[in-house]
Amino acid sequence: MSLYREVDAFRVDDERRRVLEKVVNDIEVRIRINGGMDQRFTASPQALEEFATGYLLGEGLVDSVDDILSIEISDNIIDAEIESGDLDIRRELVMGSDCFGGWRQRVEMVEPVDSDFRVRADDIFRAFKRMVNSAVVWRMTGGTHVAALVTGDEFRVFEDVSRHVAVDKVIGSGAMDGVNFGESFIVYSGRMPADMLIKVVRAGVPIIASNAAPTSSGYDAAQRTGLTMLGFVRGKRFNIYSHPERII
């Protein structure tokens, strides 16, 4: 299934006329975990295995890819089998992560990111430019978010209608390839609430940079978990909101 499709539209300029426009393709995706826990998302149809892997890691349902026993995908339904362990406790964290203030109350349950990795400001700007240039569907439709994981010379980029899912996909792709998250950084489009930043911290990525703004919950989470958070990356400037020692 394509990331976009063409639809009829009417453009009004000097006169109303029929045109063929591209729109981003969004579908409902279900993740069923151990045959019980059932989560539903709106997402783009590509890279669903990467999405599932990143979601399981980012939500703390597994500690590593070794805890994922299998992922099977049929149409838009993902069936994941994981090491059960304390799944009931972890399920409560997932269910509460999107509620107002949910991660403010639970951030102390997240292991802080531990990395001495540092990045030059110019590397951030170059990665951001490369991410934007890779965002083909965004340029066609304006309807996606984009995220990229940068590890040395390796560059993984995904677009999705959901900013959370775009981040899940880059984390999942990196985990499936065994990258060193502690020597990586993420650039991405979109605002930065706490529940999204926690995904990054759980993966062990020490730096995230966005062209948008943090929320107050995101600011609190970044400060408390050791994450270096950059916002308003535009042109040749950005703001560093937490742990600036990693930017040189």
Catalytic residues: 99
Cα dihedral angle (77, 75, 161, 35), rounded to 10 degrees? Answer: 10
Backbone angles phi, psi at 28, to 5 degrees: -85, 130
Query: Do the annotations mark residue 233 as ligand-binding?
Result: yes
Query: Do the annotations mark residue 237 as ligand-binding?
Result: yes
Distance CA 224, CA 112 (A): 8
Query: Do the annotations mark residue 129 as ligand-binding?
Result: no
Of the candidates 61, 53, 70, 65, the residue with the CA atom closest to the CA atom of residue 88: 61
Query: Do the annotations mark residue 238 as ligand-binding?
Result: no
Residues 6+ apart with CB under 8 A from 247: 118, 119, 120, 121, 124, 207, 228, 230, 240
Is 65:175 a contact under the CB 8 Å cutoff? yes
Which residues define the annotated binding site? 232-237
